[in-house]
Every structure is written in C-alpha cells, then in structure tokens.
Amino acid sequence: MQLTDLAFDQRHIWHPYTSLTSPLPTYPVASAKGVYLTLDTGEQLVDGMSSWWSTIHGYNHPELNAVAHKQIDTMAHVMFGGITHAPAVELCKRLISLTPEPLDAVFLADSGSIAVEVAIKMALQFQVSRGKANKNKLVTIRQGYHGDTFAAMSVCDPVNGMHELFTGVLPQHVFAPAPQIKPDEEWRDSDISALAEIISEQHENLAALILEPIVQGAGGMRFYHPEYLRQARKLCDKYDLLLIADEIATGFGRTGKLFACEHANISPDILCVGKALTGGYMTLAATLTTRHVADTIGGGPGGGNLMHGPTFMGNPLACAVACASLDIIAKGAWQQQVAAISAQLKAELSACRTSEYVADVRVFGAIGVVEMQRPIDVAAAQKQFVAAGVWIRPFGKLLYIMPPYIIEPEQLSMLTHAISKYCQAPV
Ligand SMILES: *Cc1c(COP(=O)(O)O)cnc(C)c1O
C-alpha cells in the first residue's frame, strides 16, 4: 500500500472505536494464512486475536476456501423473503443439532449485534404474546458486552458502553453487579444474592435476563463461576423470565466446551451465536430459541410474525462456509487444541504475575488475559508487538489473546513472550 493510501485511511476511514481527529496508526495487511498475517512490508505476524474470536481454524483455510469458491460459482446471494436454499437449511439443521435440545428454531442474522437485537425482540414479543406486556425490561449483569446497535448497547456495561453519551435515547434496563466469584473459587450462596434480590423485586417488569455465559468478553474479559449461571437459570424459571445466553464470543469451542453454557449444564431459552460461526470468513450470526417461544410469538399480535428481516438474511455464501466450518469442528480436533492452548497459556503467562505493573493474570479455555494496573498505550504497545512478530490488540488495561485453535506451541510462545516482556516494562 502506498503512503498516500495510508494517509487516506487515516484521514477518511473510521476503524473500530477510533477518532478521525486523532487517528491511531493502522498496519496494512496484504494477506493471511494459517496463524500468520503478512504485512505489506513482508513481515509476518503470529495472530493472537483470531480477528476478534472468529478465525478459529486459521486464515485462508483450504476446505473453507473450496466451499466458498463452489458456492460463489453457484449463487453468492439471493433474498430470503419467500425463498429458501440448501446452505441455509443445512446450517440451521446443524445449529439445532449442536445446541442444547430445547433449542429448535433459528433466525439467521447478519452480525452479532443483530442477533442480540433479534433475541431482545423475541423476548419482548414472547411476553406481549402471552399477555404480559408489562414484562418489557431486561435485566443483565455489569461488565457485559452485547454489541453496538442501540438495543444491544443498552444491555452493555453502562460505563464501558458510554451510556451517558446517549442519555434519553438508549432504553433503560436493569443492571445487577458483575459476578465476583471466579471459576475456580469455592461457591458461596451470597454470590448470587444481588441478582436474586433484583429479580425478586422487579420480575413483574422483567422479560428476560441476558448475559454472556462464564466469559464476559469485550466488557472486561472476566470469567465467573458456572454455579452463578446455574443459579441464574433457576431464578429465571422461578420468576418467569427468559434466559438469553449471548455466546457470540464463547460459542464453538473457545472455552473448552462447544458452548459455555455446558460448563453449567444449563440450556438458555434464547441463544445468540456469531463471530466464529463462519470460521471468520464473513459476517453471519444466529439467534436460536425453543419451540415454546417460537409458537408463543406465532400466536401473538401482528399475525405472529417475528419482526425482523435483514436484506442479507441467510446469505448463501456465509451459510455454506459456516457449514464447512462446523464440519471441521465436528471432527473434534478443537478439544485437544483448546486444552493444549489453555495449559500453555497458564504455564507461560504466570510469569507476568511477578510484575509490579500487573494486576491480574487469568486463563480460561483458549483465552489468556493479563490485566495491567494502568491503561495501556495501544499505539506504543502495538508497535512493540509488531516488532516482536505478533499481532495483539490491547484495550483499556487489558492485554488478551485468543489465538486460532491451530496455533503451534512455538507460535503461541511468541505471543506469550511478547506479553511477558511488555508486562515487565510497559511502553
Ligand atoms: C462481538 C460480540 C457481539 C457483537 O457482535 P458483532 O458481530 O460485532 O455485531 C455481541 N455479543 C458478544 C458477546 C460479542 O463478543
């Protein structure tokens, strides 16, 4: 890429959460294969981010490529209104068979945020359809992240999600404190009492509890005890709320189970998946629900229609690649891969604990997090990481990695060494 193109990028193109007035540097990537990103300069970087949880099988995967080529030569897209096609039907069959038993109906969405919008609509339409229109608020836990569209934002952590910027526009929902109990700590019944109290007091106005099971991702990279999720499920049953599990980050093996809900042996009433669904090839997400919720909505006002229908709904190309990605998952290698990554992250990141600049080190599944005492200078840190041959994108006080499942031990060590070095002497 020419320097003038880089200047154009800085001047005219927003990147995620950036300012055009004081833009951060961007690195031109020319190609990607396996765990490597190749910069325009020819430098190769080991990818620690899986392009935000998505590229679980690595870039430029031969099987995914073959399916994408075949589908593009057949039909890249067709509207989903009044039309159906094999890639969508195949994908939905697989999603229903992979997810917990009661989930039986699928809405194909075009991104994670939209899958959350649809989940919220399902919950609200469900309550209206059974004559409980007053149950029209959501309850959630702080430090969550559910996406960037308005309904999704309204259930993100109010501080991290900058709710005050949108006062008067964002719907007001109910927030419980974030769970404090870590996965390996001993459960105390008091760990659920704040959520229990809020739900018992406000259930007459609550349609659903929405949360990220076990792993809170972009809202803080926090891990919590599976018993919290089991108790949350019980509270939803007791007080007649739906449980919405947002597995957009955790779905498809990242936490060591296919879905994070499995750590608690629970099933949600509504499940959102996205990110890794297409193995990181293109944008696609899905919202699944039970036959009961689907039928209740179906008997409700407005002819029982679920009120959503994006232009690119069920895009055949994305559905075909998603099926191919699920085929790779079905072979099962991810289980050993995730376990090995997890063990190596635990072993190699623990050295960071000795640094005075580090507040916490935590690993869950194939996710490694080092929380610094102070906010990280992203541009400076990234420059150091690129020089070390790795791609790691910090945010806030957090250095975190969730590499492609196919990463080799030596490649993973490059990532952990770069993090350790940063921790000892932050730039
Ligand atoms: C990334 C994410 C979303 C939003 O997905 P997009 O595809 O970015 O819209 C929602 N929920 C969770 C848990 C996520 O990690």
d(CA 11, CA 19): 10
CATH of residue 236: 3.40.640.10
Predicted local distance difference test score (pLDDT) of residue 7: 93
Mean of per-residue pLDDT scores for the chain: 97
Same domain, 116 and 162: yes
Same domain, 344 and 313: no
| Residue 149 forms part of a structural domain | yes
**Distances 395 to 9, 47, 335 between C-alpha atoms, Å:** 21, 16, 28
pLDDT at 3 over 90: no
pLDDT 10s digits, 21-34: 999 999 999 999 99
pLDDT at 162 over 90: no
pLDDT 10s digits, 115-128: 999 999 999 999 99
Last residue of a domain, one of 280, 302, 331: 331
Whether 104 is a known active-site residue: answer no
pLDDT at 40 over 90: yes
Residue 269 Cα to ligand 1 midpoint, Å, equals 19
Nearest one of 339, 360, 348 to 416, comparing CA atoms: 348
pLDDT 10s digits, 251-307: 999 999 999 999 999 999 999 999 999 999 999 999 999 999 999 999 999 899 999
Residue 76 three-state SS:
coil
Same domain, 220 and 108: yes
Last residue of a domain, one of 298, 331, 364: 331
pLDDT 10s digits, 67-93: 999 999 999 999 999 999 999 999 999
Predicted local distance difference test score (pLDDT) of residue 370: 98
Q: How many structural domains comprise the chain?
A: 2
| Residue 32 forms part of a structural domain | yes
Residue nearest to atom 3 of ligand 1 (CA): 147
Whether 238 is a known active-site residue: answer no
Q: What is the pTM of this model?
A: 0.98
Residue 314 is classified by DSSP as T
| Residue 398 forms part of a structural domain | yes
Same domain, 308 and 337: no
Pairing label, strands 215-216, 222-223: antiparallel
d(CA 214, CA 371): 18
Whether 228 is a known active-site residue: answer no
Residue nearest to atom 7 of ligand 1 (CA): 112
For 234, counting Cβ atoms within 10 Å of its Cβ (0-12 exposed, 13-18 middle, 19+ buried), the class is middle
Residue 161 pLDDT level (bands cut at 50, 70, 90): confident
| Residue 201 forms part of a structural domain | yes
* Of 53, 246, 275, best ligand 1 pocket probe by most atoms within 8 Å of the beta carbon: 275
Residue 249 Cα to ligand 1 midpoint, Å, equals 7
Predicted local distance difference test score (pLDDT) of residue 1: 84
Predicted local distance difference test score (pLDDT) of residue 262: 98
Residue 147 Cα to ligand 1 midpoint, Å, equals 5
Residue 323 pLDDT level (bands cut at 50, 70, 90): very high
Residues of the domain holding 342: 6-60+332-424
Cβ < 6 Å from ligand 1: which residues? 111-113, 116, 145-147, 212, 217-218, 246, 248-249, 274-275
Catalytic residue among 36, 47, 110, 145: 145
- Weakest-pLDDT range from 162-171, 246-255, 384-393: 162-171
Same domain, 154 and 303: yes
* Of 116, 118, 143, best ligand 1 pocket probe by most atoms within 8 Å of the beta carbon: 116
Predicted local distance difference test score (pLDDT) of residue 241: 98
Same domain, 126 and 204: yes
pLDDT 10s digits, 222-240: 999 999 999 999 999 999 9
Same domain, 240 and 284: yes
Whether 145 is a known active-site residue: answer yes
d(CA 188, CA 7): 55
Catalytic residue among 47, 239, 275, 422: 275
Residue 112 Cα to ligand 1 midpoint, Å, equals 4
Question: Could you tell me what percent of the chain has a pLDDT over 70?
Answer: 100
Same domain, 29 and 89: no
In this structure, what are the phi and psi dihedrals at residue 211, rounded to the nearest 5 degrees? -155, 165
User: Virtual CA dihedral for 305, 311, 312, 314, nearest 10 degrees?
Assistant: 20
